[in-house]
Structure 1
Amino acid sequence: MLRPSAARLSHFLPAGILFLGGLAAAYVKDLSVFFTSLFNVLPTLVLLLGGAYCAVYRRQRELALMVTVYIAYYLLDTQTDFYRDNGVVREDAAVVFHLMCLLLPLMFGLYAAWEERTHLFQDLVARLAVLLLVAGVALGLEQSYPVEVQNWLADIRWPLLHGSWMSLIQLSYVMFLIAFGVLTWQYLNKPRPLHAAQLVGLLGLFWALPKTFILPFTLNIMCSQVMLMIAAAVAQEAYQMAFRDELTGLPGRRALNERLQRLGRNYVLAMSDVDHFKKFNDTHGHDVGDQVLRLVASKLSKISQGGGKAYRYGGEEFAIVFSGKTLEECMPHLEMVRETIANYQIQLRNPDNRPEDDQQGRLRRGSAQAGSVSVTISIGVADRQPEQRTADEVLKVADQALYAAKGAGRNCVVAHGQPQKRSMRTADAI
């Protein structure tokens, strides 16, 4: 199922910056000896560092992508070096260039869409076997039938689709188009930084190939940038795994700990807990329990409108941080999110009777049905006081206020050090 709503501009940001940086560097003229020497070794250096990084994290797909890009760079760079040194191209330059224009998008698209689904070692062997097979067949044909292969590749098969602006063989454009389509579908199906980097990287290769013999060091720069995009995407996903909760999409416990270390003098911390969550899990199952946690997380994330930020603390507990706010400023927003959750009817998912679209889902949630339930949360909140020297101490006080909210009957907000004012129930607790 496609998930375009989960697409994020942040997925494309690192790769986009690297792509624009590569464009800018490629058009720089009169490079100094230092940059000339740097661009000569940059692809190899990026492959060694980025490849080692992917190997450490056991990212076979990304490693295969880097190797594919580097092999294409090496074969084409050999041709451009000969052209720069002698002023003419080698005899086999045309057939090698055409083969790279065809095989590079093919192999890049194949490896980008080929997810790891088996044992890591077997997966690596399979990728290497495919690479060796394709390289062996291409090399054999190029060595045995260079003229025939060149003519077959350069043949204009669809005259009506051929334009004067085309500087690559027609088959290359077809292959790039297929690869773009596959990778676009992959990203919309599973939006993640790696899939976004693959799309931008393919765009970079598409731009660089026609400039191979025109702009000096274009190939060195853009191939390096594409490999950097892949390595940056691995780092970005590793960061998300460490700092973002996969189930709810909220920042996780580690992100909260770092945030607490950077708070100023005035702040408010709140701890919230789903009421009777264990009983809910035992009654409806863990799948429905996960649905509840995602619901609560989505509503708590709206607290950002009041200057707060929600975090998944652990289990059914969430923490909320208000920086530079007073307790009086935060209470209305906490009450609002508590009431929103209590009034929300959760339609229990039935695989045989799922809504066909969002509109039907909203209509079902708006009607009273036997398959709907509601949940409530309790919230404890505390602001920094002179006797609390650290944010961890304030968080413990907020946790004590949460226990007080549980003792007051749940489905309410209790502030530490203030008289307990029971919030009116707006939904039946589970």
Structure 2
Amino acid sequence: MLLRVLLFIPLLIFSVCVAADPIQLDRGWEFRWGDSPVGSDGVPEWTRGDSAAAWTPIAFPSNPPDRHGAENIWYRTTLPEGQWRDPVLYISSVDLIVDVYVDGRRIYGFGHFDENGKGRFEGWPWHMITLPPESTGKPIYFRIFSDYIDIGLWGEVKVMERGELLGKILRDSTEGAVVGVFSLIVALLALAFSCIQGKRRMFVAIALYALGAASMVISASPATQLMLNAPLLWDYIGALGYFVMPVAMALLMETWFGSGTGHLYRWISRFFVAYILVAMAASLGGLVGLALTYPVFDLLFAAALVLLFVPAVRGLSMLSREQLAILCTYVLFAVLLLIDMGVAHGFLPWGKVPLAWGSLAFSCAVVVIALVHFSRSQAELRALNMSLDQQVKARTAELERLSYEDPLTGLKNRRFFNELIARESARARRQGYPLSMLICDIDHFKQFNDTHGHEAGDEVLRQLALRMKQTFRQTDLACRYGGEEFVVTMPGAGQEDALMRAEELRRDIAATALRYAGKSLPRITISVGVASWPGSVASVDELFNRADKALYRAKSKGRDRVEGADFEINRALKSASD
């Protein structure tokens, strides 16, 4: 198909260089209702140059007066003189089928006339009619059948060089092709946004509108006939795109102005969906021609445009700038469609209506809004990612804190102690400073819990943790090792300092009056085992085991006491007490 277009380019360049000026056939037209009888030689009698009295002058060969339901008509005019190399007659469109005669010879035909001079709709293509040599200055006749509301030629009728006509077709198609492709891209973008954005119904409506506009513009582009000479197929594509317009408009209006008038928009969209189904089925089934579905639709669409936009005017203050932009392009396209209807049905003089520009304005508005939405979404996504990152970091820190902290007492837990002692032991060996360790255990704690309950026992554990925080230095670290057992690590503390702190804690706990739930609790006591490096242990790695053994001795000697890792320390502690 593309190759066919490319093959026209050399011919186009050559013809333009030597072409005579195009001549518009806008005068000398005549018409005659009915169909010509055919002579024995097969030549229509009306092409033999009979009396001019049977023909009636007309300014342009379209919709003469006094039709009265007639479906057959003949038109004629005289071909202009000129120095042509490869002349053709260009006609924008014909309603509906046509045979063309010069010198009694049929030189062109579109559609098929049956034996009764009737036919059926075959599409609305443009026509390039090759003119025979020496045809200039001679009459040319047009035999036409139409059961449509219009009958005759439509648009431009001019004689020109073939190459110049092909150049005109390509030039006239550029705008529609660009806008059509652009509208298709918009439709795809809108569908993509419908999958990732919350306002799915709105984006589906935009996609449907853009797809319909693209179908209309592309099918109306003259170059499509060069790529694929199937005018009826292109007309079906254009009709489907045109007929879907009110559906898309109603869907979009419903998303914006649905409150109070949503039932109206739903009714309009469903009505036109039903019309599309019925019209297409009837046309494809041969019940009516596709052309006959247009007048009814045009009337319904014009009424629907009023129903669609009147409620919108009352809700303008509620619209965002993006919605206003789309609504304005909607109105622009709707006005152009109404003008095109007026031209098509003869209410307005013929002229090219820039539907492609209306579609382009809508498509550009959607693209700009899509880019704004995308930029805004990316900014929100970056902010969300930063927020999530901060939340993850905060949560990680919280989880890390919880993984090292005892929830009851607020002290560090056994996991933290295991990591801490390895780190502090290595540092003590490396830097040569002393390191002491205390292991504390509440005396008869199981019996206390059995007597006063676990909640009272939890209060005892919290009070012990509080006293430990008050007794030891900021550099010391107290941990709940498990149950009623606590461990205190004292970096930089020697034997004597560790023993004194342990004894201070023991005395403080023994003197503390405990209360829970408004009731006094019996006093508790603790037993403490102490080990220090260097001094009571040969290796820093033996601190925990030696402190644990010292605690066992304190328990076995009656509890409520502090025991060091060797007897020399205990004797020193006893002397200090005395």
TM bin, normalised by shorter chain, reads 0.3 to 0.5
Q: TM-score, normalised by structure 2?
A: 0.33
Structure with the bigger percentage of helix: 1
Q: Which has the higher contact order (CA 8 A, sep 6+)?
A: 1
Q: TM-score, normalised by structure 1?
A: 0.43
